[in-house]
Structure formats: C-alpha cells, structure tokens
DNA sequence: CGATTTTTGTACCATATCGCAAATTAATCC
DNA sequence: GGATTAATTTGCGATATGGTACAAAAATCG
C-alpha cells in the first residue's frame, strides 16, 4: 500500500506538520481517473480505487472525499488535461485544415490510450451517463459540450475572416458538425474501431467542413 | 409481485403445461430495458429489475438468464425497436431532406422519452461503455454503428442517383456525418439539452449534407 | 526527549448484491 | 382426482460494497 517510498518530491514544501503522505495526490488522482474512464462510476469500487492508487480507503476518503467527490475531481482533472491539449492547438497560428487535423489527432490520442483497450472520452462514455441523475455532473458535461462547440466556432469564425472559408458558410453550424465528429469518434473508439478508420472519418468530415467536397 | 392478474392475453396459446406465467415476457423485458437505459449495467441491481418487472429474482433468472444476459436481451430489444423505426422511414419514398428530417425526429423521440428525464441512446450511453470489456456487447455495438452508417449511405446513394445531390458528393462521407449527427444528439439529449436546440443542430447538419450551405 | 499533528493501517459495521435451493402454487394431462 | 409440469415465493448464503472508528506510525515543534 505504498506509492512512493522516497520523501516528497516537490521542492516547495511548506514543512507540513504530521506524518508525511505516502502518496502524491496528483498521481493518485490520475490513477483514479484511469479507472473511472475504463469502468465508469458504478462499476468502480472503492477497493478498485484503493489498489489502483496505492492508498487505502481511509486515506482516499480523507484526501478526496467520498466516491462521488472523487469521481467529480477525476472528471475535472480530465477536462483540465483535455482542455489544455486542445487549447494549445488553438493558440498557435496555422491554416484551418491543419488546425482541425491537429485537434482530432490529439482527441484520438486521448481516446485510444489505455493499457487494457481504448478508453474513449470521459464525457461521452461515463459522465453523460451520470448526467441525467446528477445535476452537478450534468452541469460539467454541458459545460464541456458547449465549450467544445465554442472553441470550434471561434476557430471557424477566424478562418472565415481569413478567407479560408466561403462567405456563405456558417461557423456555428460547422462547429456543431466538428463537435459531432469528435463525439462520433469518441463512441467508435470505445467499440475498438481501429485508428485508421477513425482517421478516415475525420478526414471526410474535414473535407466537408472546409468545402472541398460535400 | 404481480404484473397482470388476468389470464394470458395472446389468443395464440399453445396450451402450455404447468403453472401459467404471472408476467408477459415482452412487457417485462421492456421494463428491464427502461431501467438499463436509465442507469446502465452496473448501477442496475437485480432488485431494481425485480421490482420494475414485477418478477422476483428467480423468475427473472429463469426467464432471461443472469444479469448480463438480461442486459444483452434488453439491448437486442432496443435495437430491434430502433431498427424498425428507422427502417419504416427508409422503406417509404420521399425526398432526401424529408427523409433525413423524419429519421432524426424519430431518433429524438427515442432519446428524449422517459419519465425521469431523457434516456438517450442505449448504444451510446451504456452499451458503448460495456463494449470495451465485453466482446459480445462490443460486436452488437459495432453492428449497430455500421448498420446506421450503411443505412445512411444507401439513403445518400439513392438520393444521388435521383439527382438530389451534386455529382461531387460522396455518400459514404455524408453517411458518416449523418451518423455523427445522430451520435451528437444522443449525447446531448442525455445532458438534458432541450429538444429545440437538438433540432437546430439537426437542421444545420442537414443543410450542410444536402449542400444548401457549408 | 516529549507533546502535537497528520497520515496510515487494520478492523469493523451495516447493508447491498448476485445467485440459487427448496418448498409452494397453479395449471394441464390421463 | 392424482400425476406431471412449470412457474412462483420465500429465504438463504457467500461475498462485495461504501463508509468509518481507532490505534499505531511518522513527521515537526518546543
């Protein structure tokens, strides 16, 4: 039940008072996230989480609260990471097609990762499921969905201004198709559709969005 | 623990031998399906299923097998129903736009139904989740996904032949966008996005697919 | 070193869960 | 009516589950 034996890594120790933690909260949360992504909320037991994180249940509870809180914190972490990944692509300057390709590539990287099979998208695979019954999770899911829509919308708006899209194009509509494409590969990846096929879907969608063919 | 007190409804009784069933398998499976759609596999207990179907656990077990088998049978039932609904739309002759509108309308009917909140799509919300770990479910999910793709593809192929689409259009690509649109509304409906918004997404997607604007 | 603080480890509790065995009930067949 | 068949009902049992109480451990502070 030990995660790391060597003393706390971070140099910025405010010299905590009592017995030092045997785990690093960040890596523990990462492990919890992995499990929740793979199995969902209900199918993941505290024992599972305990062995995966290397923390025993009381420590888990003390650090993150009960199972639902841990789930929400895991989801928050996932969203932060995913948001950072696509945010990076948005900040760089590049042609529309390339930007889209990069976004979908990093989405696929996220969805297809995992030792025991692709884990898909947290939002789509498990959070959406919990969203019906849990208002807090629902709010996060909605926020994630509209966040993606908006990111794509601004992306297309910018492209249109730069003349990369015909004047007749509607950035909001294109954004929803772009989001839908993200959603469809998220679902398909969970069914172990091979990356090649997912990339083909992405390519076709990009062609349509850019107006190469329709 | 009684589902119906009156004797078996169906006129086609082969005069079964022993004590008559107190339930009708069809309605029981429907109730099970409702629950699984709402809660997913792991979060649905046999007790839940028992009270919902009006059958006690041994009867449930005798009729449908263990929980996983019941889940698979429920999913099969869902697919049969959904397939029948869109199949009906495909058999009729009508212009492309109208056909697409009808398909999405019946999809929304399915996704948004439910007493305690919209239940979304079985395939997307729960089956895809189980698909990673269960080959049989995965096969069903894949079958459902490609089935939808193919249905849309033939739809667009027909439309192209009839001159409803430009010669440059690729039915396979359009089909994948059409499927992606189904997937995105399935996910969003689970997050309680109102029907109006979902219909707007559908309308935008149809416009792009038909080539009205891009 | 002793007191204090914080975390860990063990053990536990109440309940839920899945599945099944045995007895009971209700129908048909002869 | 008695035998047979099939479904129901009750209840059990082994295990899993989420959560917590409590003592031991490991650090800092004075």
Which positions in chain B touch A141 (Cβ < 8 Å)? Answer: 190-191
| Domains in chain A: boundaries | 75-210
C-alpha to C-alpha distance for A144 and B21, rounded to whole angstroms: 48
Q: In sequence order, which residues have a C-beta less than 8 Å from that of residue B173 and are 6 or more positions away?
A: A204, A205, A207, A208, A213
Q: Are B132 and B70 in contact (CB under 8 A)?
A: no
Q: Alpha-carbon torsion A26, A27, A29, A34, what sign?
A: positive
* CATH numeric code, A75-210: 1.10.357.10
Give the pLDDT band (50/70/90) at residue B78.
very high
CA atoms within 13 A on the CB side of A10: 12
Of A143, A139, A72, A83, the closest CA to residue A107 belongs to A83
For residue range A65-86, list pLDDT tens digits in order: 999 999 999 999 999 999 999 8
Of B22, B8, B119, the closest CA to residue A133 belongs to B119
Mean pLDDT estimate for chain B: 91
**From the list B120, B132, B138, which residue is nearest A38 (CB)?**
B132
Class assignment of domain B74-210? Answer: mainly alpha
For residue range B113-143, list pLDDT tens digits in order: 988 889 999 999 999 999 999 999 999 999 9
Nucleotide closest to A16 measured between CA and C1':
D28
* Residue whose structure tokens are 């889209």: A100
Record: contact B172-A204, CB cut-off 8 A: yes
Predicted pLDDT at A14:
65
* Residue whose structure tokens are 């041994």: B58
- pLDDT > 50? residue A116: yes
- pLDDT > 70? residue A10: no
B165-B214-B108 Cα angle (round to 5): 80
CA B32 to C1' D18, in angstroms, rounded, equals 26
Nucleotide closest to A17 measured between CA and C1':
D28
Give the pLDDT band (50/70/90) at residue A178.
very high
Q: Are B117 and A133 in contact (CB under 8 A)?
A: yes
Q: Are A118 and A192 in contact (CB under 8 A)?
A: yes
Cα distances from A201 to residues A55, A178, B164, B179, B188, in angstroms, run 41, 11, 23, 11, 21
Q: Measure A58 CA to nearest chain B CA, in Å.
A: 24
C-alpha to C-alpha distance for A152 and A156, rounded to whole angstroms: 6
Give the pLDDT band (50/70/90) at residue B2.
low
The two tokens of residue B205 are 């997607």
Q: Is the CB of A67 under 7 A from strand D?
A: yes
Record: contact B187-A145, CB cut-off 8 A: yes
Q: Are B161 and B206 in contact (CB under 8 A)?
A: no
Record: contact B208-A214, CB cut-off 8 A: yes
Q: Are B117 and A132 in contact (CB under 8 A)?
A: yes
Record: contact B40-A179, CB cut-off 8 A: no
Record: contact B173-A208, CB cut-off 8 A: yes
Which positions in chain A touch B188 (Cβ < 8 Å)? Answer: 145
Q: Could you tell me which chain A residue has the CA closest to the CA of B200? A: A173
Q: Measure B155 CA to nearest chain A CA, in Å.
A: 15
For residue range A16-64, list pLDDT tens digits in order: 888 999 899 999 999 999 999 999 999 999 999 999 999 999 999 999 9
C-alpha to C-alpha distance for A132 and B197, rounded to whole angstroms: 17
Which positions in chain A touch B118 (Cβ < 8 Å)? Answer: 132
């Amino acid at each position: 039940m030990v995660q790391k034996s060597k003393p706390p890594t971070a140099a910025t120790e405010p010299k905590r008072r009592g017995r030092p933690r045997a785990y690093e909260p960040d890596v523990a949360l990462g492990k919890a996230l992995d499990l929740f992504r793979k199995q969902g909320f209900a199918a993941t037991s505290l024992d599972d989480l305990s062995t995966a994180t290397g923390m025993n249940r009381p420590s888990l509870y003390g650090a993150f609260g009960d199972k639902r809180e841990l789930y929400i914190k895991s989801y928050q972490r996932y969203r932060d990471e995913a948001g950072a990944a696509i945010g990076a692509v948005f900040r760089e300057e590049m042609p529309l097609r390339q930007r889209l390709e990069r976004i979908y590539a990093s989405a696929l990287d996220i969805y297809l990762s995992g030792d025991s099979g692709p884990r898909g998208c947290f939002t789509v695979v498990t959070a959406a499921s919990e969203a019906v019954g849990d208002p807090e999770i629902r709010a996060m899911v909605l926020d994630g969905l509209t966040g993606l829509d908006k990111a794509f919308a601004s992306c297309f708006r910018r492209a249109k201004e730069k003349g990369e899209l015909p004047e007749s194009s509607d950035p909001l509509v294109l954004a929803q198709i772009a989001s839908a494409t993200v959603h469809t590969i998220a679902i398909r990846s969970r069914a172990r559709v091979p990356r090649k096929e997912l990339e083909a879907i992405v390519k076709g969608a990009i062609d349509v969005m850019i107006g190469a063919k329709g």
